[in-house]
Structure 1
Amino acid sequence: MALVHEFLGQLSINMGNEPTFPTVVPAVDFDPDRDATRIDTAIKTKGVDEQTIIDILTKRTYAQRREIAFAYERRTKKDMISALKGALSGSLETVILGLMKSTTQYDASVIRGSIKGLGTDEETLIEVLCSRSNTELVEIKKVYKELFKIDLERDVKGDTSGNFAKLLLALVETKRADPSAIVDYEKIDQDARALFEAGVNMKGTDVPTWISIMTERSVPHLQKVFQRYKSYSPYDMQESIVKEVKGDLQRSFLVLVKCFENKQLYFASRLHEAMKSKGAKEKIVTRIIVSRCEVDLKKICSEYKANFGESVQKTIMEHTKGDYQKVLLSLCGPEE
């Protein structure tokens, strides 16, 4: 049945080495049959009771939503995802259907959409591939193959070119080293000097050297490399990238470095840009809030407030409206 297909792939709850700061956590006193009954009633209500659907599905984890969907199917002999599709519309429908996928399935679907739409959506492809941890990328590759019956590498290779393609493919190869308890100062110095000599210190740029260092070293190691880099170069790593490369390659390297330095600040900045632009860029706002609500949205919200002077919640109130506003606020949780 469609439902079983939607839930292919394993639950993506623990993202490996990175600590999580979710805003959506398991509901206590959880009763999937009760929730399924309430959703069934909400869908059948004249005009649809969107508030009940929002209240339930934004306050349950993916694992719990999955149980609700199975309980709904047992009760009504219908597929809950299809029923929600039929009952909802617009931005609210997009968010709720996104929540019916695991974080990994959602990421895989976003990547597929950015590649298989009309022309490549490079911005989305860069955001997802350059911001996910090695552990997340390993899971995304597996689920991508299950859902779309093709390797992620093949899709990326078929839709990008040049050094931009080489960088994305190197990330998808997931060769990044795991963090180590031992700090190798000699290796840190070698890598910092190699980045300098492959860029600012030569005519042109030795892009393959940049790609190999930035896609194969562990994140804690690279954080120290970028610190050390400043003792060789008059520019920091981000400034050097802007000077040395252009276009999608520049954007990709910048996202990588920003995420190595502070991933949650990167997402907070993306949210800020998207919501402050004329007519909030809903696609970006939806993607970040849905994909990070069970990962690190709480920390993204705190970085947002610390760096932009107001809360994500207040910005959402100012720049969105209706059920879309309600569903985003519910996923972000209360201001802290």
Structure 2
Amino acid sequence: MSYPGYPPTGYPPFPGYPPVGQESSFPPPGQYPYPSGFPPMGGGAYPAAPGGGYPGAGGYPAPGGYAGAPQPGAPPSYPVGGFPGGQMPSQYPGGQTPYSSQINTESFSSYPIFSPASLDNSSEPAAMTQGTQGTIRPAANFDAMRDAEILRKAMKGFGTDEQAIVDVVSARSNDQRQKIKAAFKTMYGKDLIKDLKSELSGNMEELILALFMPTTYYDAWSLRNAMKGAGTQERVLIEILCTRSNREIQDIVRCYQSEFGRDLEKDIRSDTSGHFERLLVSMCQGNRDENQNVNHQMAQEDAQRLYQAGEGKLGTDESCFNMILATRSFPQLRATMEAYSRVANRDLLSSVGREFSGNVESGLKAILQCALNRQAFFAERLYCAMKGAGTDDSTLVRIVVTRSEIDLVQIKQMFSQMYQKTLGTMIASDTSGDYRKLLLAIVGQ
């Protein structure tokens, strides 16, 4: 399975989204009620990602691949809400499934486009929240004090009842976990996070701590870890900064300053350079246009400008790519990609691969792929985290946790379509013990 235009080597530019949709509960700067006891910031929390990358050119279904797809030559219409009823067709005309056929450069409107996902209380436009579903929903009849007591008993005395911890944590929303944390301290005068850290270790500890971090803090913490100490985890920077909504990025910037006493933009400038630095600085402004209406004339003009800045000249005008990809809305970028395929007779992802290299290429491609199909983006990232020898556990944890309340149901569907195996089956074969039990409980296996 492949995405169009991706190079056959190199680590995929598809880090996962962090959790979204809980901004309304996020406190103002200087009032983040984060408990002490989160993992120390030193020593790079994210292991080196495994090698491998995207196979050669492939594509999406031919025009008409889902109900209502416009025909070539017709003005494109972008289904912001995703497939009817939020469900992906089980099969495409002619037996095709996504990514199984050669790309049709005449009409990008034939791509199976899902909406950028969000929770009901997200700051993103309402039209962008349709058609997606998380595997974790807030528990009914929730009682924070009862859950706190269960966790206390699971950790009291000799040994730990990991199954009791799994049963509680995997069936509560992030907001409910914050309430459990507060109830635990009120009832026992102890910090739940510190107690969990003393009882757990390794990947299970990392997964539990990720589940208990407030969503915006998790993003800020991940960015700080990615830039602290020797070396920089560029994939984490791309994953977070190239894929968030404006509100999410603005909250991350404030949280980063409040929690770590540092300026995110300054840290980015000191840890990156060149066109990659400029792209990330653009991203951390949180000023992308989020109007969901598509201006087709602008799309045609942008496509022509991108062609003249890259394929149509000797050398590359990187600033033109940065400007358009950093400012246009995702629906607008989809329209631009379709127009570009007519102008250049080549898809824009492929042209970015020909004109750029390294981290800036990965960042630009992450933006474009998010605009096309976020669920396929995450499905491929999960697959690459587990394929071959070894497992990139930090990426696996990050995506499963952050998408669990947003669109993990659709990601699972895409994973099965693209790789002919279920996400749960691959997780089960790549992990073990209580870590595996908790991951499988979160993904709904």
For residue 254 of structure 2, the aligned residue among 142, 145, 154 is 142
SS across alignment from 1:4: coil
The residue number in structure 2 matching 1:280 is 391
After superposition, the Cα gap between the structure-2 partners of 1:125 and 1:23, relative to the gap in structure 1 and judged at 3 Å, is same
Deviation at 1:133, TM superposition (A): 2.6
The residue number in structure 2 matching 1:302 is 413
Counterparts of 1:116 and 1:311, CA distance in 2? 36
Counterparts of 2:396 and 2:253, CA distance in 1? 24
For residue 317 of structure 2, the aligned residue among 200, 206, 221 is 206
Task: Please tell me the root mean square deviation across aligned C-alpha atoms, in Å.
Answer: 1.8
Structure 1 residue 327 and structure 2 residue 438: aligned?
Answer: yes
Deviation at 1:70, TM superposition (A): 1.4
One-letter amino acid of the structure 2 residue matched with residue 6 of structure 1: P
Greater percentage in helix: 1
Higher deviation after alignment, 300-309 or 164-173: 300-309
Counterparts of 2:245 and 2:372, CA distance in 1? 13
Counterparts of 1:202 and 1:65, CA distance in 2? 54
After superposition, the Cα gap between the structure-2 partners of 1:110 and 1:102, relative to the gap in structure 1 and judged at 3 Å, is same
Structure 1 residue 4 and structure 2 residue 37: aligned?
Answer: no
8 A contact 2:245–2:286 mirrored in 1: no
SS across alignment from 1:229: helix
- Residue deviations 1:24-43, cap 9 Å, x none? 21000111111011000001
Structure 1 residue 16 and structure 2 residue 118: aligned?
Answer: no
Counterparts of 1:294 and 1:118, CA distance in 2? 34
Aligned pairs (5 A) from 1:63-212: 63-181=175-293, 183-212=294-323
The residue number in structure 1 matching 2:345 is 234
Counterparts of 1:317 and 1:278, CA distance in 2? 15
- Residue deviations 1:234-288, cap 9 Å, x none? 3211110111011111111111111111111111101001111312111111111
- Residue deviations 1:31-74, cap 9 Å, x none? 11110110000011421011111110121111111111111111
Counterparts of 1:211 and 1:173, CA distance in 2? 13
One-letter amino acid of the structure 2 residue matched with residue 309 of structure 1: Q
Counterparts of 2:409 and 2:263, CA distance in 1? 33
One-letter amino acid of the structure 2 residue matched with residue 317 of structure 1: A
Counterparts of 2:225 and 2:282, CA distance in 1? 21
- Residue deviations 1:94-139, cap 9 Å, x none? 0101111122211111111111143101122112222223332222
After superposition, the Cα gap between the structure-2 partners of 1:307 and 1:101, relative to the gap in structure 1 and judged at 3 Å, is same
Counterparts of 1:301 and 1:295, CA distance in 2? 12
SS across alignment from 1:27: coil
Counterparts of 2:286 and 2:235, CA distance in 1? 21
Counterparts of 2:343 and 2:169, CA distance in 1? 51
Counterparts of 1:129 and 1:238, CA distance in 2? 19
For residue 257 of structure 1, the aligned residue among 368, 371, 377 is 368
Counterparts of 1:331 and 1:270, CA distance in 2? 17
After superposition, the Cα gap between the structure-2 partners of 1:83 and 1:142, relative to the gap in structure 1 and judged at 3 Å, is same
Counterparts of 2:124 and 2:282, CA distance in 1? 20
The residue number in structure 2 matching 1:31 is 143
Counterparts of 1:6 and 1:12, CA distance in 2? 27
After superposition, the Cα gap between the structure-2 partners of 1:33 and 1:49, relative to the gap in structure 1 and judged at 3 Å, is same
Length, aligned pairs only: 328
Higher deviation after alignment, 145-154 or 305-314: 145-154
Among all aligned residue pairs of Structure 1 and Structure 2, give the percentage whose two residues are the same amino acid: 36
One-letter amino acid of the structure 2 residue matched with residue 51 of structure 1: Q
- Structure 2 residue runs of 5 or longer lacking an equivalent are 1-31, 37-118
TM-score (norm: length of structure 2): 0.71
- Residue deviations 1:290-323, cap 9 Å, x none? 2221222222112111211111111111111111
8 A contact 1:107–1:291 mirrored in 2: no
8 A contact 2:178–2:214 mirrored in 1: no
Structure 1 residue 269 and structure 2 residue 380: aligned?
Answer: yes
For residue 215 of structure 1, the aligned residue among 306, 323, 326 is 326
Counterparts of 1:45 and 1:256, CA distance in 2? 49
Deviation at 1:13, TM superposition (A): 5.4
For residue 335 of structure 2, the aligned residue among 224, 238, 249 is 224
Deviation at 1:83, TM superposition (A): 0.8
One-letter amino acid of the structure 2 residue matched with residue 138 of structure 1: Q
Deviation at 1:21, TM superposition (A): 2.4
After superposition, the Cα gap between the structure-2 partners of 1:260 and 1:113, relative to the gap in structure 1 and judged at 3 Å, is same
Counterparts of 2:157 and 2:417, CA distance in 1? 42
TM-score (norm: length of structure 1): 0.93
Counterparts of 1:105 and 1:24, CA distance in 2? 20
8 A contact 1:12–1:104 mirrored in 2: no
For residue 427 of structure 2, the aligned residue among 310, 316, 328 is 316
